[in-house]
């Protein structure tokens, strides 16, 4: 269906039909409504009534969406975007830089989105995209977009310090293929605290989520000389680890202490409430959405921002105090 054919059907000229779709003043209300309703009946209204959707379109590109952490993160972004009258479109990259490039190219191309929030990317942004981009976390920092970073390092540092203060020296780490950066930060935190890094105390599972936690914890606990505490790359892994200790007849925190990351909602509802590292996701989302709207509303707002948000430890019951003093040391929390 073309405007010409529509004109024939309506018994008017092409120009008139064109005017109907462009909200021109050169047309009577009646003719306009007649033409538009005709177009709707023929299912081509949407095709020509372009651009009048009105809302600002913000594309969010996320490495994954499975599990509560990214879901809540996306929900926070969505809420903030809607508060400002925008609409979120979320796409998943599956941790693939190639796919991220595809998605940015797609959303960055004419008319598909007005701005992009790029979460935890594996891609280094090379070319300046032609719509505003705000990057949250991710492997590579960039000068091509505003950048908001989650300082996971500070959270892991706190966790290691906290364990040390509670008398732990043999501290292990469990992660998986996609959490290599946390593994690195763990090693740094151990060195900073002058604690001995034991290769055998660091296990990266080939599985994911709770299964990965179970698997890695099993490998760790079946050793002769066990660590007294374990930091897990995220809460779901800690949950799997807890499950393994249960089945193996080990008690937490008496036999091993466990610290997770993300403060997933279930963490507080477990058998033994989980001590965990949290990075303020709401605040992060708020900042990101503020930024992207500022840039979408004002195309001359080019000041590159570089914001870093700290993370911190939430102390619950999954860490034992080995120092002999009655209370666990809560030096750094809340």
Contacted by 15, from its own copies, DNA, none: CB < 5 to 8 Å by type = DNA
Non-local CB neighbours of 64 within 8 Å, separated by 6+ positions: 70, 92, 94, 95
With CA atoms as reference, report the closest residue to 157 among 277, 286, 63: 277
Q: Does a cis peptide bond (omega within 30 degrees of 0) precede residue 238?
A: no
When asked if residue 74 is in the footprint of its own copies (CB under 8 A), the reply is yes
The sign one gets for the Cα dihedral 119, 117, 53, 39 is negative
Binding residue (CB under 7 A) for DNA from 31, 56, 181, 321: 31
The sign one gets for the Cα dihedral 218, 258, 311, 196 is negative
Distance, in Å, from the CA atom of 224 to the CA atom of 208, rounded to the nearest integer, reads 25
Per-residue x/- track, 227-266, DNA (CB under 7 A): ----------------------------------------
Contacted by 223, from its own copies, DNA, none: CB < 5 to 8 Å by type = none
Q: Find the shortest distance in angstroms from Cβ 134 to its own copies.
A: 18
When asked if residue 25 is in the footprint of DNA (CB under 7 A), the reply is yes
Q: Find the shortest distance in angstroms from Cβ 32 to DNA.
A: 7
Alpha carbons within 13 A on the beta-carbon side of 187: 11
Distance, in Å, from the CA atom of 234 to the CA atom of 260, rounded to the nearest integer, reads 5
Q: Tell me which residues touch DNA (CB under 7 A).
A: 2-4, 11-16, 18-19, 21-22, 24-28, 30-31, 48
Interface residues toward its own copies, by CB under 8 A: 40, 43-44, 46-50, 53, 55, 64-68, 70-72, 74-75, 78, 82, 87-92, 94, 102-103, 105-106, 108-112, 127-128, 130, 209-210, 236, 239-240, 242-243, 264-266, 268-271
């Amino acid at each position: 269906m073309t405007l010409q054919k529509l004109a024939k059907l309506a018994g008017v000229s092409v120009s008139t039909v064109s005017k109907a779709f462009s909200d021109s003043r050169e047309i009577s209300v009646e003719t306009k409504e007649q033409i538009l309703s005709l177009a709707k009946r023929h299912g081509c209204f949407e095709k020509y009534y372009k651009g009048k959707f009105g809302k600002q379109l913000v594309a969010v590109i996320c490495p994954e969406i499975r599990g509560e952490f990214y879901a809540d993160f996306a929900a926070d972004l969505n809420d903030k975007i809607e508060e400002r009258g925008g609409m979120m479109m979320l796409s998943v990259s599956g941790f693939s830089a190639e796919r991220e490039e595809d998605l940015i190219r797609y959303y960055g191309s004419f008319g598909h989105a007005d701005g992009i929030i790029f979460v935890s990317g594996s891609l280094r942004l090379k070319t300046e995209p032609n719509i505003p981009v705000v990057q949250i976390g991710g492997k590579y920092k960039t000068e091509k977009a505003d950048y908001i970073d989650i300082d996971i390092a500070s959270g892991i540092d706190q966790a290691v310090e906290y364990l040390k203060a509670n008398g732990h020296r043999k501290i292990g780490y469990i992660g998986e293929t996609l959490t290599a950066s946390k593994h690195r930060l763990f090693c740094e935190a151990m060195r900073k605290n002058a604690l001995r890094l034991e290769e055998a105390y660091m296990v990266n599972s080939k599985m994911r989520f709770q299964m990965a936690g179970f698997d890695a914890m099993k490998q760790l606990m079946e050793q002769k000389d066990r660590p007294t505490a374990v930091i897990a790359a995220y809460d779901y892994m800690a949950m799997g680890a807890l499950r393994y200790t249960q089945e193996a007849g080990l008690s937490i925190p008496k036999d091993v202490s466990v610290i997770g990351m993300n403060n997933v909602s279930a963490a507080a509802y477990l058998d033994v409430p989980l001590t965990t590292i949290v990075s303020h996701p709401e605040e992060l989302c708020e900042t990101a959405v503020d930024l992207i709207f500022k840039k979408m509303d004002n195309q001359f707002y080019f000041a590159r921002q570089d914001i870093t948000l700290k993370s911190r430890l939430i102390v619950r019951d999954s860490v034992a105090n080995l120092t002999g003093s009655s209370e666990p040391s809560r030096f750094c929390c809340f």
